[in-house]
């Protein structure tokens, strides 16, 4: 029977809630494992879960330098969508979307996946033509997409300035109704519990500070909790990729670390029941279940490992918000924070064997890795277990930068701050 159920709730209520098990154990590290995953974010945890569930590999440790959820999995603005242009991206992210639709049941953990829709706004006829092209590319591969006119947009979000005198008048939008949001902490906790129950050791406060090598081959790691060895070592550390891979002797990768800031306002009455993105700059917003508006914009634009941002982008994001929703001017901002993202050179992720023997690498998620959490773990587990990619991550190789098969959805070239 499911650990969390109406019956369990009743039973535990009657016994004073004393018999719940902790969501995951706090084991001591074993000297060796079949697989070590460096990084206890969403992707590391989902990889561990699918290694156990899909491939029967349960002698696995997830090593997290802080506490679970302290990285980007707990810092993002929770948008989940699959509205890409290029077929490699559409297939991968739509696979993820289908997994999201089943995730709460699969994990027996409510990740509060809410298909409230994601609407991209367009501000010129040319942009609407581009949306039509993108929508057709999506529908061609079985993904839902719908063009909306200004009247329909105004009906959906009455707070928006749809007038011709707006700073950037709205011409239309592209809606994906199956897209939406999920509760980010719950995703980390749900995967952690489900992996733990299948035997995975989750080792918090366990920072990897070096790699043990036998020739070229990676055979273990040194950590703040001692030396741990494994047959296979997988790295999924998001914004820390450059720093961690340097410890393994890989000193150049097609990756730059950048800070992305996010903001949340005080709670207000229901104002926005979809996710909206702005087409004349970079701005996106949703309203949380508690009522706060959660939003963000561009990255600060220069390499950073500091989990805080600088002021010019704060001003930039606020001005974009007010260009769209002038009525939000009096609403107070409660807090802001930053997360470090691994920006790749074509804006697409890397899920691959290597680059050293015994090693596996998952990185390059840029702005958008939260939505990828299920498919990323699923594909990375496959790659680790079988030593070859799944069909969905085969295009996302490290080698694509050499072969020229880059996946540049925005057509920006090798300038990470533009992706």
Partner 1 sequence: MLITCPYCGPRDVSEYTYQGDGNRTRPEPASTDQEAWNAYVYDRVNIAGAHHEIWQHSGGCRAHLAVVRSTTTHKIASVGFVREAGHRKHERHARPGAKA
Ligand X SMILES: Cc1cc2nc3c(=O)[nH]c(=O)nc-3n(C[C@H](O)[C@H](O)[C@H](O)COP(=O)(O)OP(=O)(O)OC[C@H]3O[C@@H](n4cnc5c(N)ncnc54)[C@H](O)[C@@H]3O)c2cc1C
* Residue 246 interacts with partner 1 (CB under 8 A): yes or no: yes
**Binding-site partner at residue 260 among partner 1, ligand X, none, CB < 5 to 8 Å by type:** ligand X
Q: Which stretch binds partner 1 (CB under 8 A): 17-25, 129-137, 152-160, 250-258?
A: 250-258
In the bound state with ligand X, the residue whose beta carbon lies nearer, of 173 and 347, is 347
- Check binding of 410 to partner 1 (CB under 8 A): no
Smallest gap from Cβ 280 to partner 1, in A, equals: 13
Structural contact between residues 256 and 265, judged by C-beta atoms closer than 8 angstroms: no
- Binding partner of residue 252 among partner 1, ligand X, none, CB under 5 to 8 Å per kind? partner 1
Name the β-bridge partners of 60: 35
d(CA 322, CA 124): 19
Of these, 64, 196, 256, 320, which contacts partner 1 (CB under 8 A)? Answer: 256
- Over the range 348-361, which residues count as b (16 or more CB within 10 Å of their CB) and which as e? bbbbbbebbebbbb
CB within 8 Å of 257: residues ≥ 6 apart: 239, 240, 241, 242, 243, 303, 304, 305, 340, 341, 342, 343
Q: Which of 222, 310, 318, 355 lies at the binding interface for partner 1 (CB under 8 A)?
A: 310
Residue 38 near residue 44 (C-beta atoms within 8 A): yes
Which residue minimizes CB distance to ligand X?
A: 41
Rounded-to-integer distance, Cα 96 and Cα 368, Å: 12
Q: Which does 71 bind (CB under 5 to 8 A by kind): partner 1, ligand X, none?
A: ligand X
Looking at the Cβ atoms of 280 and 341, the one nearer to ligand X is 341
Sign of CA dihedral 11, 187, 264, 291: negative
Q: Which is nearer to ligand X, 135 or 347 (CB)?
A: 347
* Residues at the site binding ligand X, with contacts judged by CB under 6 A: 38-44, 63-66, 70-73, 75-79, 207-208, 236-240, 244, 260, 262, 296, 339, 341, 365, 367-371
Question: Which one of 131-139, 201-209, 252-260, 388-396 is the stretch in contact with partner 1 (CB under 8 A)?
Answer: 252-260
4, 13 contact by CB (below 8 A): no
Cβ at position 350, least distance to partner 1 in Å: 11
- Output 61 or 343, the one with its CB closest to partner 1: 343
Q: Contact 184/140 with Cβ under 8 angstroms?
A: no
> What residues contact 416, with CB distance under 8 A and at least 6 apart?
255, 256, 258, 343, 344, 345, 347, 366
Look at residue 305 and give the partner it binds from ligand X, partner 1, none, a contact being a CB closer than 5 to 8 Å depending on partner kind.
partner 1
8 binds partner 1 (CB under 8 A): no
Q: Establish if 302 lies at the interface with partner 1 (CB under 8 A).
A: yes
Which one of 1, 6, 215, 251 is in contact with partner 1 (CB under 8 A)? 251
Q: Build a one-symbol-per-residue string for 331-350: x at contacts with partner 1 by CB under 8 A, - elsewhere.
A: --------------x-----
Q: How far is the CB of 94 from partner 1 (least distance, A)?
A: 27
Which lies closer to ligand X via its Cβ, residue 171 or residue 196? 196
**Alpha-carbon span 10 to 368, nearest angstrom:** 39
Which does residue 246 touch among partner 1, ligand X, none (CB within 5 to 8 A, set by kind)?
partner 1
Strand partners, 337: 262
How open is the CA angle 372-374-379, to the nearest 5 degrees?
90
For the CB of residue 195, give the shortest distance to ligand X in the complex, in Å: 13
Is residue 7 part of the contact set for partner 1 (CB under 8 A)? no
**Ordered alpha helix ranges (H), 165-218:** 184-197
Give the three-class secondary structure for 361: strand
What is the C-alpha to C-alpha distance for residues 362 and 368, in angstroms, rounded to an integer? 14
Find where tokens 């393994």 sit. 248
Residue 370 binds which one of ligand X, partner 1, none, with CB within 5 to 8 A depending on kind?
A: ligand X
Closest approach of partner 1 to the CB of residue 235, in Å: 14
Select 12 or 114, whichever has its Cβ closest to ligand X: 114
Residues 180-209 that bind partner 1 (CB under 8 A): none
CB of 251 to partner 1, least distance (A): 7
Other Cβ atoms closer than 10 A to 337: 16
What is the bridge-based pairing of β-strands 118-122 and 255-267?
Answer: unpaired
What does the block give as tokens for 45? 């945890």
Query: Which residues of this protein are in contact with partner 1, per CB under 8 A?
Result: 240-243, 246, 251-257, 298, 301-306, 310, 312, 345, 401-402, 412-415, 417-418
């Amino acid at each position: 029977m499911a650990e969390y159920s109406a019956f369990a709730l009743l039973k535990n209520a009657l016994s004073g809630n004393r018999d719940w098990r902790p969501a995951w154990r706090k084991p001591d590290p074993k000297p060796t494992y079949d697989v070590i995953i460096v990084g206890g974010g969403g992707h590391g945890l989902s990889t561990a879960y699918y290694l156990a569930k899909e491939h029967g590999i349960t002698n696995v440790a997830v090593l997290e330098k802080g506490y679970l959820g302290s990285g980007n999995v707990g810092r993002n603005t929770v948008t989940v969508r699959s509205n890409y242009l290029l077929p490699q991206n559409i297939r991968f992210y739509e696979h993820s979307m289908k997994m999201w639709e089943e995730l709460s049941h699969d994990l027996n953990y409510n990740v509060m996946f809410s298909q409230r829709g994601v609407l991209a706004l367009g501000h010129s006829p040319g942009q609407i033509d581009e949306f039509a092209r993108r929508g057709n590319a999506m529908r061609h591969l079985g993904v839902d997409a719908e063009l909306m006119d200004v009247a329909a947009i105004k009906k959906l979000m009455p707070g928006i300035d749809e007038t011709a005198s707006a700073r950037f008048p709205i011409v239309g939008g592209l809606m994906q109704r199956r897209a939406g949001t999920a509760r980010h902490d719950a995703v980390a906790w749900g995967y952690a519990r489900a992996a733990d129950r299948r035997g995975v050791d989750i080792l918090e406060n366990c920072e990897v500070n070096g790699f043990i090598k036998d020739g070229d081959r990676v055979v273990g790691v040194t950590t703040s909790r001692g030396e741990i060895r494994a047959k296979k070592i997988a790295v999924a550390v998001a914004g820390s990729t450059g720093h961690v891979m340097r410890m393994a002797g890989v000193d150049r990768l097609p990756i730059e670390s950048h800070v992305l800031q996010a903001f949340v306002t005080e709670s207000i009455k229901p104002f926005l029941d979809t996710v909206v993105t702005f087409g004349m700059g970079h701005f996106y917003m949703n309203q949380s279940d508690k009522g706060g508006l959660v939003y963000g914009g561009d990255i600060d634009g220069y390499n950073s490992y500091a989990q805080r941002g600088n002021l010019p982008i704060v001003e930039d994001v606020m001005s974009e918000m007010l260009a769209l929703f002038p009525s939000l001017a009096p609403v107070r901002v409660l807090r802001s924070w930053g997360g470090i993202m691994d920006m790749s050179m074509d804006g697409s992720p890397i899920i691959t064997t290597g680059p050293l023997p015994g090693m596996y690498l998952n990185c390059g998620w840029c702005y958008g890795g939260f939505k990828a959490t299920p498919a990323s773990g699923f594909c990375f587990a496959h790659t680790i277990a079988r030593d070859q990619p799944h069909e969905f991550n085969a295009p996302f190789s490290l080698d694509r930068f050499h072969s020229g098969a880059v996946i540049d959805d925005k057509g920006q070239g090798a300038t990470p701050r533009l992706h």
